[in-house]
Amino acid sequence: MNPQKKYTMAYFTNDFFDFFKQLAPNNNREWFHAHKNDYETYVKIPTQNFVDSVLRKLESTDNRFAQLTYKDCMFRINRDIRLSKDKSPYKLHIGIIFSPVGKKYKEYPGLYVELNPEHIRIYGGIYSPDRITLEKIRNLLIKHPKKFKSIIENDEFQSVYGEILGAKNKRLPKEMMEAANKQPLLFNKQLYFYNELPVDDALKDDFDQTIVNHYKIALPFFQFFEKAFKN
């Protein structure tokens, strides 16, 4: 990496991805500490600036975004290795969550962005609701089937995200079975979707707007389920 190189109007440069390519075969604390300046210069600071830009653009969708900064949305590069056989201390990607409540409530509907040298992945939806919240989610699906169908079958949503994914339960309460025959997603205990972009998209000046556009396309889905996450 060239320490004299400055990133341009784009938030990220190839140096961002080169850092992770070099980290992969050197995933240890000694190497990371020796290259911490590269991490700060090419990864951490550009990501912070990128996240703050996206947040400001998202304020028009929900004024709660005005209270958030990159600190509320960026996940640490350090891995939690306590229960893992893989003791590599660092992730080989950067993870960001765009949600009106930030990362403190990970179950809340939001958009998760993962950047690594192979791809950019953008996930949205509901990944790990607790039992009570899942029941509320299913009740919303039963109560408003046409509205939900119109959201996930919207042409723009379909072209960007496609089908709804997620692990499923094998059984449902008997009172939900009739509705499940019409809407099989009632079996889901997760409801998420994703899109994958080429790495070069992150090197463009308007990458922040790309993420904002992805969020806005997913927004009707988020708003539909928001009631399930309120007391």
Q: Is residue 108 part of a domain?
A: yes
**How high does pLDDT run on average in the chain?**
94
> What is the C-alpha to C-alpha distance for residues 94 and 33, in angstroms, rounded to an integer?
18
Q: Residue 145 belongs to what domain range?
A: 14-229
Q: Is residue 6 part of a domain?
A: no
State the angle between helix axes of 131-143 and 207-225 in degrees (0 to 180), rounded to the nearest 10.
Answer: 80
pLDDT tens-place string over residues 134-158: 999 999 999 999 999 999 999 999 9
- The CA–CA distances, whole Å, from 21 to 1, 26, 116, 117 equal 12, 9, 9, 7
Model confidence at 216: pLDDT above 80: yes
Q: Is residue 208 part of a domain?
A: yes
Model confidence at 10: pLDDT above 60: yes
User: pTM for the full model?
Assistant: 0.92
> What is the C-alpha to C-alpha distance for residues 60 and 195, in angstroms, rounded to an integer?
23
For range 91-120, the mean pLDDT: 95
Q: Is residue 50 part of a domain?
A: yes
For range 58-80, the mean pLDDT: 96
Number of domains in the chain: 1
* pLDDT of the residue at 4: 47
pLDDT tens-place string over residues 80-104: 988 888 999 999 999 999 999 999 8
Q: Is 105 in contact with 174 (CB distance < 8 Å)?
A: no
- The CA–CA distances, whole Å, from 142 to 109, 148, 195 equal 19, 10, 27
Q: Is residue 1 part of a domain?
A: no
**189 residue type, one letter:** K
Q: Which residues contact 214 (CB under 8 A, 6 or more apart)?
A: 111, 122, 124, 160, 195
Domain with residue 105: its CATH number is: 3.30.930
Q: Is residue 155 part of a domain?
A: yes
Model confidence at 1: pLDDT above 70: no
> What is the C-alpha to C-alpha distance for residues 215 and 211, in angstroms, rounded to an integer?
6
Q: Is residue 48 part of a domain?
A: yes
Q: Is residue 199 part of a domain?
A: yes
